[in-house]
C-alpha cells in the first residue's frame, strides 16, 4: 500500500509537474497515512533530528522513509515554488512587452480585417460588375442566338424564294417564247389583213377612177357630137377604151350624101391626168415611161405635173378648219432640176437600207442602226407613213398635213417641235419623199371631224392603230365595230399632230435618189411590190 503511494509520489517528481498536481499528491498521501492501522499506536513523543529518527523496529524504518519522502516533497515543493516564482517574475517582466505585442498583433489583425473588408468590398463590387457583364454577355448571346435564328430563317426563305424564282423564270421564258411566237403569227395575220385592205382600197380607188373615166368619156362624146352638129356634118363617133395606160381611142366616121360611112381618123385621147402607169423595177425612176412617152408618140396632158403622185387617189379632204390652219403656212417649193422629170419611187426596204432602222415601223428612231448615209446627214429619226394610216398626210413634196395617233396612247410619240424627214406611201406600194418637217402637237380631232370620215376610213384607222390592244379590251371594246362605237360616242378622242414642211433640200434629195437607184440596181426590194404606179 505504501509502495503504491510512494510510486504515486515518485510520478509527481520532476520540474514538469505543476503546483496543483503536487498539492493533490500530498493530499492523497496524508489520507493514506491516517487510514493506515499500523500507524495508529505509534509514539507521540517521537522526535526528529537532522541526523536521523530514533525508533525501534519497523516503525523506525517506516518513519525514516516517511520523513525522507516528506523531505523530498518539501524539496520538490520548494523547487516548484521557486520555479513558479521565477515563472511569475518572468511573466510579470514579459507582461508589458506581451501586451504590446498583443496590441500590435491586434492592431495588425484589425488592419488586416479592415484590409480584408476593403478587399471583400472590392471583391463584392467586382462580383457585381462581373455579374452585370455576365448578364450583358448573356443578353448579347441571346441576341446573337436570335440573329442566327433569323439568319437561318432568312437563308431558308431565300433558298425557297430562289427555287420559286427559278421556276418563275422558267415559266416566264416559256411565256415569252409563246408570246413571241404568237406575236409573229399575229403580225403575219395583220399583214394579210392589211394587204387585203390595201387591195380593197385599190379596187375602190379603181372603181372611182373608172366612174370618173366614164363620166369624162360621156362628156367628151357629147362634146364631139355637139361639135359635129355645129359643123353641120353628119359624123358617127365610136369610142373604144384602150387597155394600156388609161387612154381612150376614138374612131370618127363621116356620113356621105349617099349614106355611106368614111373613116376620118383615130385620135388617141387622154381620159384622166391621174391615171396610174407602171414603172418597172429594178430602176426606181424611168423618165421615158413616167413622163408618158409611149411607142405611139403620145404626149401626156399638161396636167401631168412632175411632182404629182398617185397618193392623192387615197387622200381624204381636209375639214375647212384644218385646211384654213394649214393655209397660214405657204407650201415649200420643190425646185427639182430639169433632168429630174419625175419623183423617185421608194420602197419600205429601200428606205430602211438607205437610212437604217426597222422596216416594219412607221416612226423610226435610228440610234445604233443608223447607216453611214444617215450619220453623214445627221439623221436620227424619220417617218415612213401610209395614207391608209394617215389620210391627212402630205401627198406631195413641200405640202403640209396631219398625222393621227392611237386613241389610247399614253407614251409621248413625239417631242414638242420634233423635226424629221418624212416619206408618204401606200401599204405594200410605193413611197415618196416629201421633205423635212416640224411636228406640232395640236390636241385631238373634234367629234364632227371624226364623224366626217367614212366607215371604211374609220376601220382603217382602228386597224392601223391596234384594234387588238389589251387596253381596248379593258375598256370593254373587243372588236373593230365596238372601238368605232366608243369613239363615235365621244368616250375617246383621236390625237393628232400637225406637219409643217420647213425645207426641201434638192441636193440631199439627189443623193437620196442616187442611193435609192443603187439599192434597186443591186436587186433589192425582197419585200417590195413587183411593180408600182406613178404619175
Query: Within 13 Å and on the Cβ side, how many CA atoms surround 413?
Result: 22
* Residue found by looking up cell 420602197 in the block: 347
Nearest Cα neighbor of 308 from 212, 397, 408 is 397
Cα distances (angstroms) measured from residue 432 to each of 63, 308, 385, 386, 473: 178, 10, 10, 10, 36
Cα distances (angstroms) measured from residue 33 to each of 39, 70, 147: 7, 12, 100
CA–CA gap between residue 400 and residue 326 (Å, rounded):
7
CA–CA gap between residue 229 and residue 445 (Å, rounded):
54
Q: What is the pLDDT of residues 326-373, one digit of tens each?
A: 888 888 888 776 555 577 889 888 999 999 888 778 788 888 888 999
Residue 98 has pLDDT above 70, yes or no: yes
pLDDT interval class at 45 (50, 70, 90) = low
Mean per-residue pLDDT, 156-164 = 82
| pTM above threshold 0.75 | no
Comparing 133 with 249, the larger pLDDT belongs to 133
Can you tell me whether residue 261 is helix, strand or coil?
strand
Q: What is the pLDDT of residue 529?
A: 39
Q: For residues 445 and 494, is the Cβ–Cβ distance under 8 A?
A: yes
Mean per-residue pLDDT, 148-154 = 89
Q: What is the pLDDT of residue 263?
A: 57
Distance of CA 86 to the CA centre of its chain: 112
Q: Is 149 exposed, middle or buried (0-12, 13-18, 19+ CB in 10 A)?
A: exposed
Q: What is the pLDDT of residues 470-525, one digit of tens each?
A: 667 767 677 888 888 888 888 888 888 999 999 999 999 999 999 999 898 887 65
Q: Helix 455-464 to helix 480-488 angle, to the nearest 10 degrees?
A: 110
Q: What is the pLDDT of residue 372?
A: 92
**Cα angle at 200 between 195 and 201, to 5 degrees?**
95
Q: What is the pLDDT of residue 107?
A: 83
Q: What is the pLDDT of residue 25?
A: 72
Q: Is 390 exposed, middle or buried (0-12, 13-18, 19+ CB in 10 A)?
A: buried
What ranges do the domains of the chain cover? Answer: 277-443+496-535, 446-493
Q: What is the pLDDT of residues 260-309, one digit of tens each?
A: 555 555 544 443 333 333 333 333 444 333 333 232 333 333 333 445 56
Q: What percent of the chain is predicted at pLDDT more than 90?
A: 8
- Give the list of residues 6+ apart from residue 423 with CB closer than 8 angstroms, or none: 346, 351, 382, 383, 384, 385, 431, 432, 433, 434
Q: Is 252 exposed, middle or buried (0-12, 13-18, 19+ CB in 10 A)?
A: middle
Residue 22 has pLDDT above 70, yes or no: no
Amino acid at each position: 500500500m505504501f509502495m503504491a503511494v510512494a510510486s504515486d509520489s515518485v510520478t509527481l517528481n520532476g520540474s514538469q509537474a505543476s503546483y496543483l498536481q503536487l498539492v493533490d499528491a500530498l493530499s492523497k498521501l496524508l489520507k493514506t497515512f491516517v487510514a493506515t492501522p499500523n500507524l495508529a499506536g505509534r509514539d507521540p513523543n517521537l522526535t526528529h533530528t537532522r541526523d536521523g529518527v530514533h525508533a525501534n523496529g519497523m516503525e523506525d524504518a517506516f518513519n525514516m522513509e516517511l520523513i525522507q519522502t516528506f523531505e523530498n516533497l518539501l524539496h520538490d515543493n520548494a523547487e516548484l515554488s521557486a520555479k513558479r516564482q521565477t515563472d511569475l517574475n518572468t511573466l510579470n517582466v514579459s507582461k508589458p512587452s506581451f501586451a504590446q505585442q498583443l496590441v500590435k498583433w491586434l492592431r495588425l489583425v484589425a488592419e488586416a480585417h479592415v484590409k480584408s473588408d476593403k478587399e471583400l468590398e472590392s471583391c463584392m463590387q467586382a462580383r457585381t460588375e462581373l455579374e452585370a457583364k455576365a448578364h450583358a454577355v448573356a443578353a448579347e448571346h441571346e441576341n446573337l442566338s436570335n440573329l442566327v435564328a433569323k439568319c437561318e430563317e432568312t437563308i431558308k426563305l431565300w433558298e425557297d424564294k430562289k427555287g420559286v424564282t427559278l421556276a418563275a423564270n422558267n415559266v416566264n421564258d416559256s411565256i415569252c417564247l409563246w408570246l413571241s411566237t404568237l406575236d409573229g403569227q399575229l403580225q403575219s395575220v395583220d399583214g394579210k389583213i392589211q394587204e387585203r385592205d390595201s387591195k380593197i382600197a385599190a379596187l375602190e380607188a379603181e372603181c372611182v377612177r373608172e366612174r370618173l373615166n366614164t363620166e369624162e368619156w360621156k362628156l367628151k362624146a357629147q362634146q364631139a357630137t355637139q361639135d359635129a352638129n355645129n359643123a353641120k356634118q353628119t359624123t358617127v363617133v365610136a369610142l373604144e377604151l384602150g387597155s394600156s395606160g388609161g387612154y381612150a381611142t376614138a374612131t370618127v366616121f363621116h356620113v356621105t350624101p349617099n349614106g355611106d360611112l368614111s373613116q376620118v381618123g383615130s385620135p388617141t385621147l387622154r381620159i384622166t391626168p391621174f391615171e396610174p402607169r407602171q414603172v418597172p423595177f429594178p430602176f426606181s425612176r424611168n423618165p421615158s415611161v413616167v413622163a408618158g412617152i409611149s411607142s405611139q408618140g403620145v404626149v401626156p396632158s399638161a396636167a401631168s405635173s412632175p411632182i404629182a403622185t398617185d397618193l392623192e387617189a387615197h387622200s381624204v379632204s381636209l375639214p375647212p378648219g384644218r385646211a384654213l390652219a394649214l393655209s397660214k403656212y405657204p407650201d415649200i417649193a420643190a425646185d427639182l432640176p430639169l433632168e429630174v422629170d419625175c419623183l423617185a419611187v421608194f420602197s419600205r426596204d429601200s428606205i430602211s437600207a438607205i437610212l437604217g432602222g426597222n422596216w416594219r415601223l412607221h416612226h423610226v428612231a435610228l440610234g445604233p442602226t443608223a447607216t453611214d448615209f444617215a450619220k453623214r446627214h445627221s439623221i436620227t429619226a424619220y417617218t415612213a407613213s401610209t395614207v391608209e394610216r394617215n389620210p391627212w398626210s402630205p401627198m406631195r413634196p413641200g405640202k403640209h398635213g396631219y398625222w393621227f395617233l392611237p386613241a389610247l396612247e399614253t407614251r409621248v410619240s413625239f417631242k414638242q417641235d420634233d423635226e424629221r424627214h418624212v416619206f408618204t406611201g401606200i401599204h405594200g406600194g410605193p413611197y415618196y419623199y416629201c421633205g423635212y418637217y416640224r411636228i406640232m402637237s395640236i390636241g385631238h380631232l373634234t367629234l364632227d371631224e371624226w364623224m366626217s370620215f367614212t366607215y371604211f376610213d374609220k376601220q382603217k384607222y382602228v386597224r392601223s392603230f391596234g384594234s387588238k390592244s389589251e387596253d381596248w379590251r379593258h375598256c370593254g371594246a373587243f372588236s373593230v365595230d365596238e372601238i368605232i362605237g366608243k369613239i363615235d360616242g365621244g368616250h375617246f378622242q383621236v390625237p393628232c399632230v400637225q406637219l409643217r414642211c420647213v425645207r426641201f433640200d434638192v441636193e440631199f434629195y439627189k443623193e437620196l435618189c442616187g442611193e435609192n437607184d443603187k439599192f434597186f440596181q443591186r436587186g433589192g426590194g425582197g419585200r417590195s411590190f413587183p411593180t408600182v404606179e406613178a404619175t
